Amino acid sequence: MNLAYIEEQSFIYGPGCRFVIWTQGCSIRCDGCWNQEMWDFNPKILLSVQEIFEKIAAEKEYIEGITILGGEPLEQISETVELLQKCKNENLTAVLFTGYEICEIKDKRIFELCDILITGRFDSKKEH
């Protein structure tokens, strides 16, 4: 997977303590996006799903689950689904932020693998 950043423990991206993964690359490019440096698809941090999962497993006793955001996690759909499945198999919860609308998500496994799914384009007018 092409990643922008990993934070092993955070309390601000979902319920409880979470392992947070920011993916690198986004073709949606919402106006006003606060992660524009993550739009570029050039490789930043390249890790296999297994390598990421091993990092998650090392934190398992401290975390409730994972949160994936970006960039756009669904730009790497097969890897995202594989990672979500591995985490579900270990009873870790999953939060996913995507700029895609529900009707645009082609791989329906996303719905069964996420405990919380936040969808839709970023709209800076809705910040207030």
Please, are residues 66 and 23 in contact by the beta-carbon 8 Å criterion? no
Domains of the chain: 2-126 (3.20.20.70)
pLDDT truncated to tens, each residue of the chain (128 aa)?
A: 999 999 999 999 999 999 999 999 999 998 878 888 999 999 999 999 999 999 999 999 999 999 999 999 999 999 999 999 999 999 999 999 999 999 999 999 999 999 999 999 987 777 55
pLDDT at 127: 59
pLDDT at 123: 76
pLDDT at 48: 98
pLDDT at 101: 96
pLDDT at 124: 74
Give the whole-angstrom CA distance, residue 94 versus residue 74. Answer: 14
What angle, 0 to 180 degrees and rounded to 10, lies between the N-to-C axes of helices 49-58 and 77-89? 30
Please, are residues 84 and 48 in contact by the beta-carbon 8 Å criterion? no
Please, are residues 47 and 16 in contact by the beta-carbon 8 Å criterion? no
pLDDT at 16: 97
